[in-house]
Amino acid sequence: MIGTGPSGHPAAGTAPAGGSPAVVHVDLDGLEDIGGAHGWTFDRHDAEAFFSDAIERGLGFFDAHDIKATWFVIGEHLRNPSRLTLLRSLVQRGHTVGSHTMTHRPLTRLTSAEKQDEIARSREVISDSLGAAVDGFRAPGFYVDREVLEMVAEAGYQYDTSLHADPHVRRDSALHEGPEGRWRLTGEHEAIELFLPRRRPLPFPFHPSYSLILGTWYFRLGLYLAGRGPVPLVLLFHLTDFARTPIRSAATWQQRVFTLSAVSGDEKARRCAAMVRAVQRRYRFVRTGDVLHRELSSPGDGEDRP
């Protein structure tokens, strides 16, 4: 039976059984992480209000759509007691967590020792602090190289999800295709690549953060193109997609665009809900752990969609 959410639309966790699987991820980039990537500084009060507001609204959004997401945590955020409490609440409410490194620095610009610290230590810190398994890894900005992928596997992660499913990415990366058609990380450890949707020929990924700026039409076009790629579909949100708190220190138009503070919280919720419904027409939402169990233990289920 297909359940319905509060709006009368099919509930995300109860989509038709015949649909292809989709998982929901959230990258927990705070204002300081966004600013660090661009050389900007935001007010500390703004940063704390943004983080807590986005987490609480994101949880409410997923509750309304019956979704259990995987939230990719930045290790150094756990030093903040209020953020630690918020992130523990994610686990308590049935969501899972992954690693988005310790400090959100571009990994391909770091030394080998620094990469190791960002990848391996973040897994330990997040797991110990939140009392939860940390099975997945995503690199900030999707910046990975062969060494990064090897380190992800060696650190004990079950999967990486930093690469888009474009053919040239598969060919040029450190992945290899196993006999059952799944893409594995290099090395002796059992790990897979959970690809993000293909982005070419689009100029940008179509996940909600870009589509909230470019328009829902861009999301629908990207979703159509993604239908020719591998399953499951990874629907990637960011904290910017949920926050409604005004960011007073976002003074320039570039800052307002990259923090999505030019879009109201109510408008974000409405348009993100439309994106979720668009995904539901072709996919069924499942937990990332359910996908991992199938991909790692049951040959023959990971083929590309016809």
Interval 94-109: pLDDT, tens: 999 999 999 999 999 9
- CB of 160 closer than 8 Å to CB of 123: no
How does pLDDT run across 262-300, given as a tens digit for each residue?
899 999 999 999 999 999 999 999 999 998 877 666 544
pLDDT of the residue at 287: 95
pLDDT of the residue at 177: 55
How does pLDDT run across 130-179, given as a tens digit for each residue?
999 999 999 999 999 888 988 998 999 999 999 888 766 654 455 655 54
pLDDT of the residue at 206: 94
- CB of 72 closer than 8 Å to CB of 98: yes
Shortest CA distance to 287 belongs to which of 68, 66, 5, 132? Answer: 68
Our CA dihedral for 243, 82, 253, 214, rounded to 10 degrees, sits at -40
The pTM of the full predicted model, rounded to 2 decimals, is: 0.88
The Cα–Cα gap between 54 and 71 comes to: 12
Q: Tokens representing 66? A: 């019956």
Using CB atoms within 10 Å of the CB of residue 188, give its burial: 0 to 12 exposed, 13 to 18 middle, 19+ buried.
exposed
Domain boundaries, the chain: 20-297
Dihedral sign of CA atoms 214, 215, 220, 223 in order: positive
pLDDT of the residue at 155: 94
**Burial letters for 95-115: b for 16+ Cβ neighbours within 10 Å, e otherwise?**
bbbbbbbbbbbebeebeeeeb
pLDDT of the residue at 101: 98
Q: Tokens representing 75? A: 């290790």
Q: Tokens representing 122? A: 């973040």
Angle in degrees, CA 230, 231, 235, rounded to 5: 110
Angle in degrees, CA 105, 98, 230, rounded to 5: 95
How does pLDDT run across 219-251, given as a tens digit for each residue?
999 999 888 666 789 999 999 999 998 899 999
- CB of 46 closer than 8 Å to CB of 76: no
> Which has the minimum average pLDDT: 54-68, 107-121, 258-272, 286-300?
286-300
Q: Considering only the top CATH level, what class is 20-297? A: alpha beta
